[in-house]
Chain A
Amino acid sequence: MSLSITLTINGTQRTIELEDSRVTLLDLLRERLDLTGTKKGCDRGQCGACTVLLDGRRINSCLALAVSNNGAEVLTIEGLAQGEALHPVQAAFIVHDGFQCGFCTPGQIMSAVGLIREGQAGDDPERVREGMSGNLCRCGAYRGITEAVLEAQRNLVETGRKEAA
């Protein structure tokens, strides 16, 4: 079986020959396109480590079939920084020490970018926590993560760049 799909990944359009309809977006990125920044933590949509932006919205890529998302735009952690310049969310994670082992970090950052775009959490830490509840962190860096998201959101909202990525 050969299925041909086209995805725009981190700004670059790519045509991919899928040999298997079972391939998830996560395994497409990690196993076939060498974009290993997105992590597999549970593979069942429960941990959020696989979070990417699909057509601008944060999703669990482990539950998305690649073949079902033909034509989509995908933004992964690799596509967030502009050369040497970090995205404000990435910078905020460093400043607020929002990680330890770093394994959940790409998913946390992509989820935070999505949350800020959704614009529903405001500057309330409880709402940010609720909005980030789909991303688990076993090292327990939640406090730093919450602070990082709040600061990045303030920064982006102030500079009118909520949609920026």
Chain B
Amino acid sequence: MNRFDYVRPATVAEAVAAAAVPGSVFLAAGTNLIDLMKGGIVSPKRLVDVSCLPGLDRIEPLPDDELRIGARVRYADLAYDPTFSKRFPTVAEALLSGASAQLRNTATVGGNLLQRIRCAYFYDPASACNKRQPGAGCDARGGENRLHAVLGWSGSCIATHPSDFCVALAALDAVVEIEGQAGRREVALEDFHLLPGATPERESVLMPGELVVAVRLPGAAARFAAHASYLKLRERTSYAFAVVSAAACLHIKNGVIAEARLALGGVAAKPWRAQAGGGARRRPPESGRLPRRCGGGPGGGASVRRQRLQDRARSANRGARAGPGCGRNTRARARPPCLSVRTHSRRCPRWLRP
């Protein structure tokens, strides 16, 4: 790890000012940053410690059913908050399906949004990576890329965003609150992360020195709480990134689906909002709609991933209709509720059901 200056501002304003020095990054829990620094992937000259900034650690109900989650709130605290997990069980499910208990105890909401993409070549300093060095090339293309992007990728980068939390937030139209030298601004989570395009080195719209201070769930998000589900398909039963995941949310009114939302994870450099078609439906959809842009992937595993996408979307939709905590189709209800070893899909833990 390179030597760095360490500063610990007392307020958000001081933090933003401190980060104006080039080569500065913010440090919260550090569960991604310290890992990256140990690997020599990033070498910031200055760490601005925001882990104790006042006012950023609350889960705050706002008027009109909105909810603000401070950027410093830890995954575990959010997932186990009784009010939050009852209101947004899918988001809590998504949080608990990620990382390990130790990581969930310190990692923060803000850090989750800003964690770097997952790609073994990005994390290997000896490999060519356009993200680390623009123009260097991409060793993932033509390499081990079974778990890389099948959507939204470009010739310069095929990495995926690893967050489960962001997938659930994207389905619920969350908003990111940002503080910078120019003051406060807001960005829809759906627009916060960037696809690689020709500039894979940029992963979010955050400008240097800007600090994520909160994530806000709009009042409309509460409509989906009763019929929402998060499913994660992965190679191990726990502590593994998604091969593919889906957050499905339905607003059911008088027995009819008034609105359906689907977001996919593990398939692109950002959570993928699938456009499920507009308007109310008279009948539940037979299958999840795939985004129209589901084209050829960059390598071998793409067709298998597309099939899994379809399966996941279908499953998540059925699960969402059945209600939270029923991530499998109805035939599975008769079986004892345990984690499925065969498919490694992550069912909603029983203890999260309201």
Question: Measuring CB to CB, which residues of chain A are less than 8 angstroms from any residue of chain B?
Answer: 1, 3, 20-22, 24, 43-45, 48, 51, 54, 57-60, 63-65, 67-68, 111, 114-115, 118, 120, 122, 126-127, 129-134
A129 contacts which chain B residues (CB < 8 A)? 238
- Indicate which residue in A20, A43, A68 contacts B51 across the interface (CB closer than 8 Å): A68
- Answer whether residue B38 sits at the interface, using C-beta atoms and an 8 A cutoff: yes
Residues A60 and B80 in contact, CB atoms below 8 Å apart: no
Residues A22 and B1 in contact, CB atoms below 8 Å apart: yes
Residues A21 and B102 in contact, CB atoms below 8 Å apart: no
- Answer whether residue B35 sits at the interface, using C-beta atoms and an 8 A cutoff: yes
The 21 sampled A-B contact pairs (Cβ below 8 Å) are: A21-B6, A21-B47, A44-B35, A48-B102, A54-B106, A57-B105, A59-B106, A63-B29, A63-B106, A64-B29, A64-B30, A65-B27, A111-B101, A120-B80, A120-B351, A127-B351, A131-B101, A132-B101, A133-B238, A134-B103, A134-B239
| A134-B101 contact given A120-B80, A126-B338, CB 8 Å threshold | yes
A127 contacts which chain B residues (CB < 8 A)? 349, 351
Chain A contact residues: helix, strand, loop or mixed: mixed
Residues B4 and A134 in contact, CB atoms below 8 Å apart: no
B:4-26 near A, CB below 8 Å: 4-6, 8
B238 contacts which chain A residues (CB < 8 A)? 129-130, 133
| A20-B3 contact given A63-B35, A68-B51, A131-B101, CB 8 Å threshold | yes
| A65-B34 contact given A59-B105, A133-B238, CB 8 Å threshold | yes
Q: Whole-angstrom distance from the CB of B2 to the nearest CB of chain A?
A: 8
- Indicate which residue in A22, A57, A58, A130 contacts B3 across the interface (CB closer than 8 Å): A22
Residues B30 and A65 in contact, CB atoms below 8 Å apart: yes
B49 contacts which chain A residues (CB < 8 A)? 68
A48 to B101, CA, bound (A): 10
Residues B338 and A60 in contact, CB atoms below 8 Å apart: no
A21 to B5, CA, bound (A): 8
- Indicate which residue in B101, B338, B339 contacts A115 across the interface (CB closer than 8 Å): B101
Q: Whole-angstrom distance from the CB of A77 to the nearest CB of chain B?
A: 15
> Residue of B at shortest CB range from A44?
B35
Residues A134 and B100 in contact, CB atoms below 8 Å apart: yes
